[in-house]
Copies of this chain bind each other. A is one copy, B any other.
Amino acid sequence: MATLSDVARRAGVSPATASRVINGSSKPVTDELRERVLAAVAELQYVPNAHAQLLARSHRSAVGVIVHDVSDPYFAEITRGLQRVATDQGRLLMICNSYRDPDRELEYVELLRGHQVAALILAGSGYHDEVFTRQLNEKLAAYEATGGRVAVIGRHEHSGDAVMPDNRAGGYLAGRELCGLGHRAIGVVAGPRILTTTTDRLAGLRQALSEQGRELPEARIRYAEFDRDGGAEATARLLDADPELTAIAALNDSMAIGALATLRARGLAVPQQISVLGFDDMPIARDVTPALTTVRLPLVDMGVRAMSLVLGVGAPTPRVEVLPAELVRRDTAGPVPRSTRATAGSAPRARRGDSTS
């Protein structure tokens, strides 16, 4: 690889001058030398060694991002928001997938710290795991102590800047909707127990039911991977245990799509025989058939805000932005079927069309 001094030699100037021309330094250089340097760069196909530059320059520019999986639409949308702001500010993003492995998350914090990122964003659910949480916080604190900025998306653990989707309120919305439609036998297709996102959404759901004097017994909940196959499998287990279910609340859209697949395979009509609710409103939700009724989270906006927090001026006190969830009515949730409706408490409401598309 050609180096800067190769370029300088070829142009007959000092490395200092070559560097100034290449980086458009504020220090003036005569046009003649400039030309010679640029010609040498072109001839040698010179590309500066990024590591050497980063090492020599003091200011850090890249931003590190840790997500569970960028190819998961939930994170893809968040990342889109992160990117938008970062690109506007000429920042490079280093994105790492933890695949929901706490150890890998810890490693990535180190890795990104080692890469001298100016800021760190952790997106995705936290864990109910004290040991891990403490370790993570130590690492983050160490990073912040050296001037790094940190923001989290959807995690309670960290005590700094945060963008929090209102998972609990979203769960509440879902629960209220199903109650309003007259459902009593509601099964829940949940993500891993250890994730705070799971428990938060579940708590909201529970609250809505209990306001109606109902309960959500553990027997009506199945925990599985937070993806399509997990949803399919949990739904199957749920139906096997309790064929009388009239509604299924999935704790994210991927699981809801898996639930729909299982229901289709078993010949159960949605929403005539059984209703399904999703969570997140990922883009594909409107394209499945029937279109998914779900709880929308402003995913892109979450990314935008987190990046803005981290790239903006630091605030003396940690800022926590809670972003509201919103119910999106489409076609998978309907009134409880006639045969079982009689037992329901409140009158079923008329279904409305999708208010958003």
Q: What are 13 pairs between A and B in contact, CB < 8 Å?
A: A48-B114, A49-B116, A50-B111, A50-B115, A51-B54, A51-B116, A52-B55, A70-B76, A71-B71, A260-B289, A261-B286, A264-B289, A288-B289
Contacts of A131 in B (CB 8 A): none
A76 — nearest CB in chain B belongs to which residue? B71
Residues in A180-213 with C-beta less than 8 Å from chain B: none
> Within the complex, what minimum Cβ distance (angstroms) separates A90 from chain B?
13
Please determine whether A50 and B116 come into contact, CB atoms closer than 8 angstroms.
Answer: yes
Q: Bound state CA distance, A116 and B2, in angstroms?
A: 12
Residues in A89-116 with C-beta less than 8 Å from chain B: 94-95, 110-111, 113-116
Residues in A72-90 with C-beta less than 8 Å from chain B: 73, 76, 79-80
A141 — nearest CB in chain B belongs to which residue? B45
Number of A interface residues at 8 Å Cβ cutoff, please give it: 43
> Within the complex, what minimum Cβ distance (angstroms) separates A48 from chain B?
6
Q: Is A30 located at the chain interface by the 8 A CB criterion? A: no
> Within the complex, what minimum Cβ distance (angstroms) separates A16 from chain B?
19
Q: Is A284 located at the chain interface by the 8 A CB criterion? A: yes
Contacts of A32 in B (CB 8 A): none
Residues in A159-181 with C-beta less than 8 Å from chain B: none
Chain A positions 255 through 274: 1 when the CB is less than 8 Å from some CB of chain B, otherwise 0: 00110110010000000000
